[in-house]
Chains A and B, each alone.
Chain A
């Protein structure tokens, strides 16, 4: 063995090491974890300031700040099409983007469970870094805490995003009006199906991958083609609302919009794009794809006059190639979301009650 240099610190044993309580103690072990794992992966000038907070450049004139936060707990941590790392970037970037804002920066908070393998943590962090880089939204500040074994599920990640909202733009959920058209950006239920297929108690084989993705480019394309109503200044034109249809699926998102806007919605079952495998998995488990989570799909409410132009713009973008019209906004004092079934009847598409659980009957 050669002579050990003074001040030499043995590098983090990413291959075999595990998180222990010292990684959250504020001491050297924590500093090393942050430097060798997090800072190295996320590497950007703003993060390199190395202070308790990060000083950010000023916005352009007239822009307002949009801020969104999302905590991510998912089991399994690694699933087909993604993992908790990239999911935590996509989710928050999308929450900022659906407001019509240009996502700028992310903050990340990690709660690590004692005993969590460093090799897995590295995979998660690398995936986050790659997602942030691809999105062009740097992670500029962060925090790490460690909880005792049994008090966490490997890793929980909270990300907070900020973005710049151009002057005059408003895509709030209260903007839908009777006569508007409802568009969904692609196939529904992919994320939830991919996750469920890998849950131990349900395990089934499917090629379905999570649709987890950053959608700000798609949204930018859409707003370039059809601006928001508030920007157009004409009540008969423009995009009213954009929402990402995550937990609770498209059904829940539409119920939220109907309530916020004080309107009803009539969906057309035949309008939805559902992959056959998602359909089949839902049949096995007694679930309804309308309520299954997405992580890369948006629900858009647009003025009827601009629906065709928007649909064309969405379809020209790879993330919106399967976009379709799924229904209309109606006047309805009960704020019901209803659906014309493919079978020819009608039914309510209600709020999800409790967690959607697989059924036997």
Chain B
């Protein structure tokens, strides 16, 4: 459920609106549900609304977790 996608905020506009960029596609969305969004932040966009800010550090940590599994698998194969 709930199709949503992380996109980068590139511009703030009045009335709580902002422009996000996803792979070169830009769309005006509402930032009203999230406090203090700044250009450069990544937000998760659903039906034209930002739901939350994406935490870049946590994103890296999750990727590291995947990599850990990969290393483990490689080690097990030895």
Q: In the bound complex, what is the Cα–Cα distance between A71 and B22 (angstroms)?
A: 35
Q: Is A277 an interface residue (CB 8 A)?
A: yes
Q: Is A1 an interface residue (CB 8 A)?
A: no
Q: Is B1 an interface residue (CB 8 A)?
A: yes
Closest CB-CB distance, A101 to chain B, in whole Å?
38
Give the contacts of B1-15 with A (CB-CB under 8 A).
Answer: 1-3, 5
Q: Is B25 an interface residue (CB 8 A)?
A: yes
Contact B26 A205 (CB under 8 A): yes
Interface centre among A204, A279, A359 (most CB of B within 10 A): A204
Contact A360 B23 (CB under 8 A): no
Contact flags (1/0) for A71-90 with B, using CB distance below 8 Å?
Answer: 00000000000000000000
Q: Is A281 an interface residue (CB 8 A)?
A: yes
Q: A360-B2, A361-B1 are in contact. Are A284 and B25 (CB under 8 A)?
A: yes
Interface centre among A205, A284, A360 (most CB of B within 10 A): A284
Q: Is B46 an interface residue (CB 8 A)?
A: yes
Q: In the bound complex, what is the Cα–Cα distance between A283 and B27 (angstroms)?
A: 13
Contact B5 A284 (CB under 8 A): yes
Given contacts A360-B47, A361-B3, 18 further A-B contacts (CB under 8 A): A197-B25, A203-B27, A204-B25, A204-B26, A205-B25, A206-B24, A206-B25, A276-B23, A279-B23, A280-B22, A280-B23, A281-B25, A283-B22, A284-B5, A284-B25, A284-B45, A359-B3, A360-B3
17 A–B contacts, CB within 8 A, in A order = A197-B25, A203-B27, A204-B25, A205-B26, A206-B24, A207-B24, A276-B24, A277-B23, A277-B24, A280-B22, A280-B25, A284-B22, A286-B3, A359-B3, A360-B3, A360-B46, A360-B47
Q: In the bound complex, what is the Cα–Cα distance between A274 and B1 (angstroms)?
A: 25
Interface positions of A (Cβ within 8 A of B): 197, 203-207, 276-277, 279-281, 283-284, 286, 359-361
Closest CB-CB distance, A60 to chain B, in whole Å?
48
Chain B residue, CB-CB nearest to A285: B3
**Contact-residue bracket for chain B:** 10 to 19
Contacts of B2 in A (CB 8 A): 360-361
Q: In the bound complex, what is the Cα–Cα distance between A207 and B40 (angstroms)?
A: 21
Contact flags (1/0) for B19-44 with A, using CB distance below 8 Å?
Answer: 00011111100000000000000000
Contact B27 A205 (CB under 8 A): yes
Closest CB-CB distance, B69 to chain A, in whole Å?
14
Closest CB-CB distance, B30 to chain A, in whole Å?
14
Chain B residue, CB-CB nearest to A276: B23
Contacts of B45 in A (CB 8 A): 284
Chain B residue, CB-CB nearest to A197: B25
Q: In the bound complex, what is the Cα–Cα distance between A197 and B22 (angstroms)?
A: 14
Closest CB-CB distance, B59 to chain A, in whole Å?
17
Closest CB-CB distance, A34 to chain B, in whole Å?
42
Closest CB-CB distance, A330 to chain B, in whole Å?
31
Q: In the bound complex, what is the Cα–Cα distance between A360 and B25 (angstroms)?
A: 18
Contacts of B27 in A (CB 8 A): 203-205, 284
Closest CB-CB distance, B18 to chain A, in whole Å?
13
Contact A283 B24 (CB under 8 A): no
Contact B3 A277 (CB under 8 A): no
Contact B26 A283 (CB under 8 A): no
Closest CB-CB distance, B9 to chain A, in whole Å?
15
Q: In the bound complex, what is the Cα–Cα distance between A197 and B27 (angstroms)?
A: 10
Interface centre among B3, B25, B26, B47 (most CB of A within 10 A): B25
Q: In the bound complex, what is the Cα–Cα distance between A281 and B25 (angstroms)?
A: 6
Q: In the bound complex, what is the Cα–Cα distance between A361 and B5 (angstroms)?
A: 12
Q: In the bound complex, what is the Cα–Cα distance between A359 and B45 (angstroms)?
A: 13
Contact B3 A280 (CB under 8 A): no
